[in-house]
Structure 1
Amino acid sequence: MDDAVRWDLPTDVLVEILPRLPPSSRRRVRLVCRLWRHIIDEHTAEMQSRATTLIWHPWRAVACVVDDLSSSSTGSCRELWRSVRGVQLVGTCNGLLCLCNNEEKPGGIITLVNPATGERLHLPPLPSAEKFIGSFHWMNWHETYNFAYQPMSGRYKIVQLCVPCSLDHVCEFNGVRVLTLGETSRREVATLPEGGARCNLGAGIVSIDDTTHWITRGSTTRVVSFDLKDERITSTTELPTRAAGPCRYHLMEVHGRLGIVIHDLSVTIEVWIMEEGRRWSRRYSFRRQNLPRPHFVYGEYVLTREESSLYGHYRKKGPSLSGEVVQVGHRDQGTLVAEIKGDYSHSQYRTFAYVETTEPLSVYEANIY
C-alpha cells in the first residue's frame, strides 16, 4: 500500500472501520505499517488480550483455562469446552480449537469450535484412510494433524502427515495433505518415495507463522520445514549437537520461534530455539523439572509440571529480551497454577495458548461439502 494513501486515512476513521472487520481481517491489516498496528492493538479487544493458558485433559476431553498466571495461587481453572471421550485437541489458533475424534473412523474426524460463541464446524475427512494400516489399538490419529494459521493471508490450514499406523509413533513418511478452510480441495502436496524418511510423531508437529515443522529419522535425525504458502518442503535442519547422545526430544513454540526440548539421561532438561540462519541456541535449562507441551512459555511466565500440578515461574528477563540462558532449579517450585484432580493421565495432559475471539466459523462453511 502506498504511504500517501496510508497516511491520508485519519485515525478516527480507521477506528470506526475496525469493528466492522472480522478478526481475521484485522490481523492482516495490522501488518500494513507500524501506525496501523498500534491503532489496532489499542482499539480491538482481541489484540489487547494476552494469551492465557489452556489445559487439555486427554482422558476426559475437557479444556480448561487459567486466565491470569500472576494471580493464580489456588490451583483452579475454569472449564472452557467439554467434548466426548475419544476426542483430542489438535491445536488452537486465534481462539479457535481444532478437535479430532479418534474413534469415528480411520484417520479421525476433524471439527473446529469457537468456545466463545459456541459455533462448531465439521470438516470433511481428508482422503487418507488408505494410507493407514488398520489397527484397533491405534487411537492417536490427532498426532498426525496440525492446525495452522497464516498471518499474511489470514488463512487457516489443516496439515496432515500421511503415515502408516505404528504403535511406537515412528512411521514411514509418505506425504503431506492440506485442507484450507473455505475451500473444497484436499490436496496431497508433498510425497516421498517408499522407504523414505521416518516421521517421529511422538516429537510433535508445530506451526510457526507460515511454516510447519516435524522431526524425521533417517541416516540423521532432522527437523523438516514445510512452507504453508507454497505448500512444499523447503528445508531440513539437523538437531542441536546436544541431542546427539541418548535422549528424548519434542518440538515446542517458544516466544514465537521453533523450540526443541531435550531430555537426556541426567536430570536436566534443555530448551533450544532456532535463530536466524537456522542456528540453534540454548535458552532454558530446567533441573528436576518437567515441562507441559506443546506450550510452556506465556509472556513473562514459564510453566513446569509435577505429576498432576502445574506451576508458574515468573521470569522477567526472558530469552526474547536477551541471549541469557534462563535456569530453573529443582528448589524453584514456583506458584501453583492448576491441579488436575481425578485424571490418571496427568502425564499426558497438554497446554496451549488461548485468546478469546468472536470470529465466526460460518464464513468457512459455504464452500464445505
Structure 2
Amino acid sequence: MNQAIIPEKDRKPEEVSKNHHVMEVRGIGDLPHDLIIEILSRLPVKVLCKFRCVSKSWQGLLTRDKEFIARHIECSKRTPLLLIRRYLSSAIEEPSNTETTIELTSVDMKGDVTDRFKKVIDGPVHTFISCGSLSVLCCMYSLYVCNPSIREIVRVPYRPNSRISNIGFGYLPISNEYKIVHLYHTSYVGNGKMGCEIFSFTSCENVTTGSWTRIGDCPFSAWTSEYPVCVNGVIYWSLSSGWKDRSILSLDLKKQEFASISYPIRDSKKYSLLEYIGLMGGLCLVGFSEETSRMDIWMLKSRNKNWAMEYSINLSSLCPKLLISTDDHSQEILVHMEQRDLICYSLKSQNSRRIGYHRAIKNYNKPCLYYGSLVPLG
C-alpha cells in the first residue's frame, strides 16, 4: 500500500531538510555534464571536499573525473596560493629519531591564512619544489609527493638506503604526467658528469604505480643551492660554474635531452640579485641593481636560445631578497623583500601591490606558489 503523502507543514524539520537536500542533488544532476563541471570547478577545494560525501556519483566526479579536475585547476590559477613550510624536528631530544614534522600553511594573495596542517615524514627535508598544484619533498633517503589542498602526502617508491641529492620536478602536458628528475654522482660517471633517472606518474592516478627510468648521463654538474624551475615541459637548473661564467642547465622532459644555456650578462657586480623564473610563457632572467634601483627582465627566445631584454623597471627604494616562482604564463612577479614583505608587480599594468604576510613568516622557509586542486595521489 502506498504511504500517504504528508504535507510539508506537518513533517518533522529534519525530514523537510533531508528532502530538500535530495531535491537539490537531483536538480543539479539533471543539468548537462559540461555545465555541472563549469559550475563546480569555480568552487574552492574545501567546499568540494565536503561535496564528496553527497553521493557516490558526486564522489566519482570530484575524485576521478579527469576533465573536471583539469578544469578546476585552470580556474584555480585565477586565485593562486602561497605555500609556506616549517619543519619541526625532535632530533635534538631524540638523536636516534629521524622523523620530522612538516607544517604547511596556505596563504591567499590578501595575506590571509586559508589552511594549515602537519604531517610526519622521514626528514630532514633538504629540497622542497612546487609545480602547479603538487609539491615534492626530498629527504636524504626518501621522496614524497604532496597535494596540500587535500592534505595528502604520499611516499614515492625508491631504492632503500640510496641517497637522494639533486631533484627537479615538472609536468609534461602532452602525456599528462608529472616527472621527478634525480641527478646524482656515481663512481662510474666521471669528468663532471651526473647520472640521471626520472620517476613518472600520471596525474589523477596513484603515485605508487609510477616507475623509475634511467636516461643518458647529464654532461654537466648542476648547482643544488638554487631551486630548479619547470617551464613548458623543460626543467632548468643553475650550473656550478660560478659568477664569471654562469649558465643554466636544461632538460627537455619530452625529448629527454640536456642542454646548456649561457647567461645574457657577464658582469657579476651589476646585480645584487639574479634569478630565473617562468614568466609570460617562457624562461626569464630577472636582475636587480642596487645602484640604479632597477629590475631588468630578459626572456629566453626558444628558437635561437638567445636572450632579449623585455623590461627595465624602476623599483625606487625597494630592496629585493629573492623571487618566488609563479605560473609559466603569469605576467606578475612576486618579490620577497628584505623587510619580509611580499610585493606583487604586474608587468601588464606596471603597478605593484603589497601582500600582507603571515605574521610568523620569519619562522618559515621560502614560500612556493601553488593552485588548489583535487588531484588524488593515492
Supply the AA of the counterpart residue of 1:289: C
Distance 2:105 2:235 in 1: 26
Q: Which residue matches 1:252?
A: 277
Give the TM-score taking structure 2 as reference length: 0.63
Is structure 2 residue 348 aligned with structure 1 residue 317? yes
Equivalences for 1:283-322 in 2 at 5 Å? 283=311, 285=313, 286-287=315-316, 288-295=318-325, 301-307=332-338, 309-313=340-344, 315=346, 317=348
Is structure 2 residue 135 aligned with structure 1 residue 97? yes
Larger radius of gyration: 2
Give the superposition deviation at 1:251. 2.6
Is the 1:97–1:114 Cα contact (8 Å) retained in structure 2?
yes
Q: Which residue matches 2:233?
A: 210
Kindly tell me: are residues 276 and 231 of structure 1, through their superposed partners in 2, closer, same or farther at Cα, counting changes over 3 Å? closer
Select 2:357's aligned residue among 335, 338, 356.
Answer: 338
Equivalences for 1:99-114 in 2 at 5 Å? 99-100=137-138, 102=139, 107-114=140-147
Q: Secondary structure at the match of 1:350?
A: coil
Q: Which residue matches 2:301?
A: 275
Supply the AA of the counterpart residue of 1:109: S
Distance 2:356 2:136 in 1: 24
Kindly tell me: are residues 62 and 272 of structure 1, through their superposed partners in 2, closer, same or farther at Cα, counting changes over 3 Å? farther
Q: Which residue matches 2:158?
A: 125
Distance 1:160 1:128 in 2: 15
Q: Secondary structure at the match of 2:348?
A: coil
Of structures 1 and 2, the one with the larger relative CO (CA 8 A, separation 6+) is: 1
Select 2:74's aligned residue among 47, 50, 63.
Answer: 47
Distance 1:273 1:24 in 2: 37
Distance 1:13 1:341 in 2: 44
Select 2:107's aligned residue among 61, 66, 90.
Answer: 66
Kindly tell me: are residues 163 and 53 of structure 1, through their superposed partners in 2, closer, same or farther at Cα, counting changes over 3 Å? farther
Aligned-pair Cα RMSD in Å: 3.9
Give the superposition deviation at 1:23. 7.5
Give the superposition deviation at 1:90. 2.3
Structure 1 residues 158-208: Cα deviation after superposition (integer angstroms, max 9, x where no partner): 1122148xxxxxx9541222111255542221315xxx6332222331111
Q: Which residue matches 2:20?
A: none
Q: Which residue matches 1:86?
A: 124
Is structure 2 residue 174 aligned with structure 1 residue 146? no
Q: Percent identity?
A: 17
Q: Which residue matches 2:180?
A: 158
Runs (5+) with no aligned partner, structure 2: 1-30, 39-59, 89-101, 202-206
Is the 2:184–2:194 Cα contact (8 Å) retained in structure 1?
yes
Is the 1:272–1:281 Cα contact (8 Å) retained in structure 2?
yes
Kindly tell me: are residues 66 and 120 of structure 1, through their superposed partners in 2, closer, same or farther at Cα, counting changes over 3 Å? closer
Structure 1 residues 64-98: Cα deviation after superposition (integer angstroms, max 9, x where no partner): 3332x3xx2xx543344434572356222342222
Give the superposition deviation at 1:155. 0.5
Give the superposition deviation at 1:154. 0.4
Supply the AA of the counterpart residue of 1:110: L
Is the 1:27–1:151 Cα contact (8 Å) retained in structure 2?
no
Structure 1 residues 291-321: Cα deviation after superposition (integer angstroms, max 9, x where no partner): 5444257956533323463333453625xxx
Give the superposition deviation at 1:21. 8.6
Of 14-23 and 202-211, more deviation after overlay is shown by 14-23
Kindly tell me: are residues 99 and 274 of structure 1, through their superposed partners in 2, closer, same or farther at Cα, counting changes over 3 Å? same
Give the TM-score taking structure 1 as reference length: 0.64
Supply the AA of the counterpart residue of 1:82: K
Distance 2:112 2:237 in 1: 33
